[in-house]
């Protein structure tokens, strides 16, 4: 499964910029990878793990702006259709590397 975070945060004031940068750093620390400027995704094992992840993100989300989350299966994710551009092959982002202990 994939958990995808979409966000649109204000960056007009220095406090807003700081909140944006802290939130972005938090997502990277949690293991999310950037798909686009304000779209980050992470592989999760199941819906329970996704729910726990969403709760942690909810606690770290800034008070202003818009933050949305979507959880989809790997099969749905693999059906992403590129209209312009192409997949970034520099990022190894597949479940083949996932080790379940």
What CATH number does the domain containing 47 carry? Answer: 3.30.70.240
Assign 94 a pLDDT band (cuts: 50, 70, 90).
low
Q: Is the pLDDT of residue 91 over 70?
A: no
Domain range for 35 is: 2-97
Q: Find all residues with CB under 8 Å of 20, minimum gap 6, and list them.
A: 9, 10, 11, 62, 65
pTM greater than the 0.85 cutoff = no
Q: How many CB atoms lie within 10 A of CB 7?
A: 20
Q: How much is the pLDDT for 87?
A: 72
Cβ 55 vs Cβ 47: under 8 Å: no
- Residue 85: pLDDT band with limits 50, 70, 90: confident
- 11 phi and psi angles, rounded to 5 deg: -135, 30
pLDDT tens per residue, range 22-44: 999 999 999 999 999 999 999 99
Q: What total number of domains does the chain contain?
A: 1
């Amino acid at each position: 499964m994939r958990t995808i975070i979409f966000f649109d945060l204000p960056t007009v004031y220095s406090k807003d910029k700081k909140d944006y940068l802290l939130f972005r750093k938090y997502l990277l620390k949690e293991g999310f990878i950037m798909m686009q400027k304000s779209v980050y995704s992470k592989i999760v094992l199941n819906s329970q793990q996704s729910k726990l992840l969403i709760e942690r993100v909810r606690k770290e989300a800034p008070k202003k702006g818009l933050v949305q989350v979507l959880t989809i299966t790997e099969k749905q994710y693999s059906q992403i259709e590129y209209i312009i551009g192409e997949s970034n092959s520099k990022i190894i982002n597949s479940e083949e590397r996932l080790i379940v202990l």
